[in-house]
Amino acid sequence: MRRAVSIAPVSHRLKAPFRISRGVKTAAEVVVVQVDEDGLTGRGESVPYARYGETVDSVLAQLQPAAQAWRDGAAPHETLAALPAGAARNALDCALWDLRAKREGLSVEALTALPVPESLVTAVTVSLDAPEAMAAAARAVAAAPLIKVKLSAEDPAARLLAVARAAPDARLIVDPNEGWDFAILDGLRPILSDLNIALVEQPLPAGEDAALDGYDPPYPICADESVHVAADLAALRGRYRAVNLKLDKAGGLSEALLMLEEARNHGFILMVGCMVASSLAIAPALHLAGSCAFADLDGPWWLAADHPGGARVADGRLARPRPGFWGDGITATGLWL
């Protein structure tokens, strides 16, 4: 058995600055893992996230012992065992799923029994900016059925109304990224109730969820930063009606599949989300999308250039990558340039 692992940082330039309440980025800084076994290759990508204390360097360092365990012949579950939930485990876990599909000659779709839609509605994001700039961005994507609106505590009503007026036919996901307190959230209830709101995502800082006990507005409140793994879900009942499943938080597709089942058991509305990343990070998440009410998988749409053969987003609809891109049980040719 011949095994190898390569781990590399990759920077993808964005087509425009991406702003949220915590800051702005102009590039997607990701980590790509490639695992090789007897001539077969699996790939995975993750996004180190400062909110969770991660950097590219910290993720690269986390992956070194696991990579050595793989070279030394460890089974996949043993290779992953020492890694906590987060970006490092996500990249390696997804690479191992891709490799397994090739080794067994079966797609990840078949292995999980979760159909991947050929196309689906994805939220497209209007990032935080002045109201006039957000309105212009919303007009440019007004044909999209679902728009995510990034907000902060600074004048959220004006920004939200600017987007809603510019894209009157779209449903809106409102996402302050933990940037509000309960007074802001409740104060906006009349405006939010009048708009076509699909979800209000993580309005309060994680750890302040108790303020939502018994709060029941006419739109679902969705947990994002407050939920990482399946074990987090039970504590969210009575506070959130929806949860956002992200592979980078969960630590890969394996844990996300457990979360999917557990969240269903608790009766949560489900959304699958992503960080700003390439199609290599989005392809595994698509295996959750068919089971979720909402998808927020526009990460590659923000890139100046994505991988050839990757997912394509147009007018708020995402088409899955071409066969052979990831997890199809076949070896791709000409897709990785």
The residue ranges of DSSP E strands in 98-160, in sequence order, are 119-121, 124-126, 146-150
Q: Are 35 and 70 in contact (CB under 8 A)?
A: yes
87-104 and 56-71 helices, crossing angle to 10°: 40
263-278 CB burial, b ≥16 within 10 A, e <16: beeeebbbbbbbbbbb
For residue 235, the 8-state DSSP code is G
- Kindly give, in sequence order, each residue whose CB lies less than 8 Å from that of residue 122, ignoring residues fewer than 6 positions away: 146, 295, 296, 297, 298, 313, 316, 317, 318
Nearest to 223 by CA among 288, 178, 156: 178
Q: Which of 15, 25, 148, 246 is catalytic?
A: 246
Q: Under DSSP, is residue 147 helix (H, G, I), strand (E, B) or coil?
A: strand
In 3D space, the residue among 147, 138, 189, 145 whose CA is nearest the CA of residue 165 turns out to be 138
User: DSSP secondary-structure letter at 25?
Assistant: E
The beta strands (E) that lie in the chain are given as 3-20, 23-37, 40-46, 119-121, 124-126, 146-150, 171-175, 197-201, 221-223, 242-245, 269-272, 294-295, 312-314, 317-319
Tell me whether residue 148 is one of the annotated catalytic residues.
no
CA distance 200 to 109: 30
Catalytic hit among 25, 102, 148, 150: 150
Give the DSSP H or E segment for 159: helix 156-166
* Segment (H or E) for 71: helix 56-71
Q: Which of the residues are catalytic?
A: 150, 246
